[in-house]
């Protein structure tokens, strides 16, 4: 489960457990949580969250659904996804809790700074499409604040405005966004899933791919269609 030279691959393994609706024994979850928590505040961490390794900072990361993210966005999404993973691992450990609280505080400071920009009137936005999805994923796991407002306005205003036709969005990574939408219990998420349903249907009707990310997308399409 722990990839000693990759935070993103470790988070991917945790994400796979959640996606497959499996749960590790408490002892295993605690070891993974402590390993992730030890990355908090290290050089390269975004907003005092969790730092990737040098190769991840240079080459970027691949999120659970297969899209590659690079540069500052990769650092930010690692921070959001690591925070989410720690919540999903659900262990009672003082060091883990302290690391998570520090990461939350750092991200909230970043959100507060962003809100000072008069051009940014949407509390569900974090600089760009891909980073906004990372924010939503952390919110869905119970992080940060103003959850319902940030999700409803982020999806209902920000995402909806990026509809490009034919069931696609501009600037938002398609499958990573669909993954977040499937966890949201707000009407705006259902509307966006209905919008992309034609793409989901085509994916679900294809033969099961052989690649890991292809299999995940195939299953994700099937689950998303069950919500519309």
Residues 73-112: tens digit of each pLDDT: 999 999 999 999 999 999 999 999 999 999 999 999 999 9
Summarised one tens digit per residue, pLDDT across range 43-60 is 999 999 999 999 999 999
In DSSP terms, 168 is beta-bridged to: 165
Separation between Cα atoms, residue 228 and residue 192, nearest integer Å: 9
Cα–Cα dist 80/150, whole Å: 15
122-140 per-residue burial string, b: 16 or more CB within 10 A, e: under 16? bbbbbeebbbbbbbbbbbb
Residue 116 reports pLDDT greater than 90: no
218, burial (CB in 10 Å: exposed 0-12, middle 13-18, buried 19+): middle
User: What distance in Å separates the CA atoms of residue 158 and residue 162, rounded to the nearest whole number?
Assistant: 7
């Amino acid at each position: 489960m722990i990839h000693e030279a990759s935070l993103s691959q470790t988070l991917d393994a945790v994400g796979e457990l959640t996606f497959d609706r499996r749960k590790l024994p408490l002892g295993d979850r605690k070891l993974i949580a402590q390993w992730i928590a030890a990355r908090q505040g290290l050089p390269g961490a975004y907003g005092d969250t969790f730092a990737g390794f040098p190769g991840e900072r240079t080459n970027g990361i691949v999120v659970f659904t297969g899209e590659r993210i690079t540069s500052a966005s990769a650092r930010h999404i690692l921070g959001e996804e690591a925070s989410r993973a720690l919540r999903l691992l659900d262990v009672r450990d003082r060091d883990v809790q302290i690391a998570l609280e520090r990461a939350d505080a750092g991200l909230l400071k970043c959100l507060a700074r962003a809100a000072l920009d008069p051009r940014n009137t949407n509390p569900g936005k974090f600089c760009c499409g891909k980073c906004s999805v990372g924010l939503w994923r952390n919110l869905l796991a119970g992080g940060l604040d103003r959850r319902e407002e940030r999700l409803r306005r982020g999806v209902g205003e920000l995402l909806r405005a990026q509809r490009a036709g034919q069931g696609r969005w501009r600037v938002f990574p398609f499958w990573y966004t669909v993954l977040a939408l499937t966890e949201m219990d707000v009407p705006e998420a259902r509307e966006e899933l209905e919008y992309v349903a034609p793409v989901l249907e085509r994916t679900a009707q294809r033969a099961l791919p052989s690649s890991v990310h292809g299999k995940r997308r195939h299953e994700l399409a099937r689950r998303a269609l069950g919500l519309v």
